[in-house]
Amino acid sequence: MRNCVILICCVLFNVVQAVEINSPGGKLQLAFRLSDGVPAYSLSSEGKRVIDISRLGFLLADHHDMNGGFSIEKIDSVSFDETWKPVWGEVSEIRNNYNELCASLKDDEGRLMNIRFRLYDDGLGFRYEFPRQHGLAYFFIEEELTEFNLGADCSSFWIPGDYDSNEFVYQKSNLSNLSEVLVEARKSMDSKTIIDNRSVQTPVLFRNDNGMYINIHEAALKDYPSMCLTLQGSSYTFKSNLTPDPKGYKGRIQSGFNTPWRTIIVSDDAAGILESKLVLNLNEPCKLKNTGWIKPMKYIGVWWEMFVPWGSSWNYTDDTNIRLGEYDYSKARPNGRHGANTENVKRYIDFAAEHGFGGVLVEGWNEGWEDWFDKMKFHVFDYKTPYPDFDIELLSDYAESKGVTLIMHHETSGSTMNYERLMPEAYGLMNRYGYKAVKSGYVGRLYPVGEYHYGQTFINHCLYAIEKAAEHNIMVNVHEAPKPTGMHRTYPNYLACESARGTEYEAFAYNKPEHTTILPFTRLIGGPMDYTPGIFQLDFNYYDKNSDKTLSSTLAKQLGLYVVIYSPLQMAADLPKNYERFMDAFQFIKDVPVDWQDTKVLEAEPGEYVTIARKDKKSNDWYVGNTTGENRHVSQLDLDFLDKGKKYKAVIYSDGADAHYRTNPMSYRITEKTVDYRTKIKVAAAPGGGYAISLSEIK
């Protein structure tokens, strides 16, 4: 980092002090100001409004508020430019180039607070810093007052503000009728912690009257509550709304502390939002000394069969024993539907080995599921005792002999203290039997009572679990997790998480076709998602003759999702027997990598379509994926991203001419052609459809 002069102006009046800086390429302009001692900022792009004047500060529960009475003690500025290499990701190198402004403030009580801004050509990050000081050693936040004043009505893509869940259907509305749409949407939402009818969760996407796309989120969230946004009155200003603890505090702070970064990504087109690496850049570099054991992979598992109408059960014991409370396994009788049994898992291991999958996830392997609803039992799971029909040692040896690793499943039922207490034994068991990764879950209300999934305590718990897993060389995939904020740069063993409606909601016919066209602009801004794609049997009538359910997808779209929805831990979620019916289409899932050296967004419009091309990290091969919403979409693809002077074999997996997500979801066609960087391809996606293309270099 080097010092440089980047101040454009500093205007001193009786009541206003203002400082401005430009982004490195001059595209964005940031203005910081004190007006009558109140800090505020604004952001513009080439002179066009992005964020109008927006206030900053805090209400404190046990001290006088820090929302006024400030004076500027010092202004520091620097420029920074580096290129760093992620352990895994969508690209092999990331440029981190910003101009920084730090305003050191003192209020009329002598308390110190810094506001640090980092301005990139594609957006802004800023945070509050509380230096160590005698006048403010420990304090409780009543509310953070950060504002985002959009200045005028905008279209927006959002899910409702909630302290406990982000598994909602994304909505589109103008800010002017946000409350009306949210009230209607809440009628079908199962949540008791939705904040109010004017709050949304981040990441949230806007398109303003200047035609710019704006994403608001946060980065490097740790030891602090997660943020929602609440629309203020009849204005177009959002104010931060932090998740409270059981006493209502919104942060327990000791000075010598920095808040998470508040992030604003700005682009003239939708594709630019997806290409931004701002959230990652605002996180700290990798803290792990050795990362050679972190291996992205594809996996299958005992999971989807739990959701189909005739499917397996997570639980081992029969219903009679559950009702009688007889949990003595010497007396318990198998229910005949327990999917996590030795012979069934061996079949999954065989399938994984035959088709080149690295892992097999097994849910329901361990005792405790019959105590699920008895929350007075904080020892629901011990994470080390298998059901009698699951031979953990035999299966571990069998998987190793086949070159496959088993993936552990830890359902905590929200009892975080129990999980932390047993973590050393649980991770130790994984090391003993060769499990390289764990999928953890936090279904239901959290314990201790009164804590929320997005509160400071649970944020700290999740980071603790990731750090402890790293000590055991274990990769982590968290479900029912707080929204990701780029922490996988710092802890690359944190491969993925859920934190949105995934494929399991397709089993209930709850998702919509446009869902996967919005996720890249919202949920995926913070980090990879374990969406669990790859469902080929899309008509539930196949399982249940009385069912009229269909998924909101075609088979070709399921293939495209492996490229569009990024994760270094990708599941082929359907049953092996369903893949065996469509082995020609299954070939794409076998081929597609999970780690990339380059990514190109070919076309994108939230709610309508997203088409992305990615280059394999280990070869010159490219893969293209598309997901399309409710309406048919035709792509005109220019393959100019291919290497010049090289020929490629293109295998195109597209929707059939009669495909439709409602009426004919499994209609697809596969075509081949030879292409190069001058080739243009026209591909059609059906309503609710999509496509996938593999582009293999011809040697």
Catalytic residue, from 144, 147, 480, 504: name it. Answer: 504
Tally the C-alpha atoms within 13 A of residue 553's C-alpha that lie toward its C-beta. Answer: 30
**Alpha helices, DSSP H, located in 41-196:** 178-186
198 closest CA partner among 165, 169, 241, 167: 241
Residues 6+ apart with CB under 8 A from 355: 579, 586, 590
For the chain, the 3-state helix, strand and coil shares in percent, each to the nearest 5, are: 20, 35, 45
DSSP 8-state assignment for residue 503 = G
The total of other beta-carbon atoms located within 10 Å of residue 639's CB is: 20
**Residue found by looking up tokens 């608001």 in the block:** 216
Spatial contact of 578 and 601, defined as CB atoms under 8 Å apart: no
Q: Give dist(CA 617, CA 595) in Å, integer.
A: 6
Put residue 42 in one of left, alpha, beta given phi > 0 → left and psi -120 to 50 → alpha.
beta
239 closest CA partner among 210, 198, 207: 198
Residues 6+ apart with CB under 8 A from 377: 371
- Looking at residue 146, its amino acid is T
Q: Which two tokens stand for residue 693?
A: 């293309």
What phi and psi values does residue 102 have, to the nearest 5 degrees? -120, 120
Q: Which two tokens stand for residue 503?
A: 């494929």
DSSP 8-state assignment for residue 292 = T
- Residue 203: is the preceding peptide bond cis (ω within 30°)? yes
Q: Is the dihedral of CA 149, 150, 151, 156 positive or negative?
A: negative
- Considering just the CA atoms, what is the radius of gyration of the chain in Å? 26
Is 504 tagged catalytic?
Answer: yes
Cβ-in-10-Å burial (0-12, 13-18, 19+) of 642 comes to buried
Spatial contact of 307 and 577, defined as CB atoms under 8 Å apart: no
Q: Give dist(CA 417, CA 437) in Å, integer.
A: 21
Q: Which two tokens stand for residue 292?
A: 């050679």
Q: How far is CA 194 from CA 141, 199, 426, 437, 444, in A?
A: 21, 8, 34, 33, 15
Q: Which residues pair with 411 in a beta bridge?
A: 441
Q: Is the dihedral of CA 309, 314, 318, 319 positive or negative?
A: negative
Q: Give dist(CA 275, CA 283) in Å, integer.
A: 17
Q: What is the DSSP string of 323-389?
A: HHT---TTT--B-S-BS--HHHHHHHHHHHHHHT--EEEESS-BTTGGGTT-TT-TTS--SS-B-TT
Active-site annotation, residues: 504
